[in-house]
């Protein structure tokens, strides 16, 4: 709060950057407290300014994390023979990552992906949660089969397959 009597402020580097100290009791001598705070943080001004300037051109970490997740999901789809792989959230409409597609089929397949995720969220959420982290095999409304596994309580990793899914077998 701008008029909180427990706060003391000091500028740091650029005018838009400042340090705010919060005291447990009201600051009785505000000018003295802010002067001492300014003296304490003044040596950090250039460092903060340089850091802000150097970070300005970098991509957001979540952008690169999303790119890496999509690439890993693409590799998983390729290795498993899945049409698509996806990580989504059961508690919100967020799709955290999905395998990538090349070419013109991407738009139609992305619609399929959204329908598939919507079905898993709305009609299969309890089934997924009750599996307690085990892999569940499900047949979707469009006839596709999927393998899905929850993790960290609300997230789902799912692989969708066109047609019937064949179980791996070991032969002697």
pLDDT digits (tens, 9 = 90+) for 24-48: 889 899 899 889 888 887 776 666 6
What pLDDT sits at residue 11?
Answer: 76
What pLDDT sits at residue 1?
Answer: 46
Q: Which of 172, 168, 163, 5 is nearest to 82 (CA)?
A: 163
Q: Which of 134, 160, 156, 135 is nearest to 146 (CA)?
A: 160
What pLDDT sits at residue 93?
Answer: 84
Tell me: the pLDDT tens digits for 128-153?
Answer: 999 998 999 999 988 889 999 999 98
Q: Which of 54, 49, 10 is nearest to 31 (CA)?
A: 10
Instruction: Report the alpha-carbon distance of residue 40 to residue 171 in Å, rounded.
Output: 72
More confident residue, 51 or 117: 117
Does the pLDDT value for residue 17 go beyond 70? no
Tell me: the pLDDT tens digits for 48-87?
Answer: 656 655 655 555 555 578 888 999 999 999 998 898 999 9
What pLDDT sits at residue 169?
Answer: 55
The separation between the first and the last C-alpha atoms of the chain, rounded to the nearest angstrom, is: 73
What pLDDT sits at residue 109?
Answer: 75
Q: Which of 129, 133, 70, 62 is nearest to 97 (CA)?
A: 70
Kindly list the distances between the CA atom of residue 135 and the CA atoms of 11, 66, 158, 159, in Å, as whole numbers in the listed order.
Answer: 54, 24, 9, 11
Q: Supply 73's token pair.
A: 């999901």
Q: Band of the pLDDT at 168, cuts 50, 70, 90?
A: low
What pLDDT sits at residue 62?
Answer: 53
Tell me: the pLDDT tens digits for 84-100?
Answer: 999 999 988 888 999 98
More confident residue, 67 or 120: 120
Please indicate, yes or no, whether the overall pTM of this predicted structure exceeds 0.75: no
């Amino acid at each position: 709060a701008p008029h909180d009597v427990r706060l003391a402020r000091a500028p740091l580097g650029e005018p838009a950057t400042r340090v705010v100290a919060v005291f447990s009791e009201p600051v009785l001598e505000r000018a003295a407290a802010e002067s001492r705070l300014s003296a304490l943080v003044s040596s950090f001004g250039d460092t903060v300014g340089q850091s802000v300037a150097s970070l300005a051109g970098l991509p957001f970490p979540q952008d690169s994390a999303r790119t890496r997740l999509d690439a890993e999901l693409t590799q998983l789809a390729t290795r498993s023979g899945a049409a698509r792989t996806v990580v989504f959230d059961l508690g919100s409409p967020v799709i955290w990552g999905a395998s990538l597609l090349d070419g013109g089929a991407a738009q139609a397949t992305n619609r399929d992906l959204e329908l598939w995720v919507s079905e898993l969220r709305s009609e299969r959420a309890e089934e997924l949660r009750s599996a307690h982290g085990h892999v569940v095999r499900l047949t979707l409304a469009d006839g596709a089969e999927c393998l899905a596994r929850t993790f960290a309580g609300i997230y789902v990793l799912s692989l969708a397959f066109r047609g019937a899914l064949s179980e791996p077998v070991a032969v002697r």
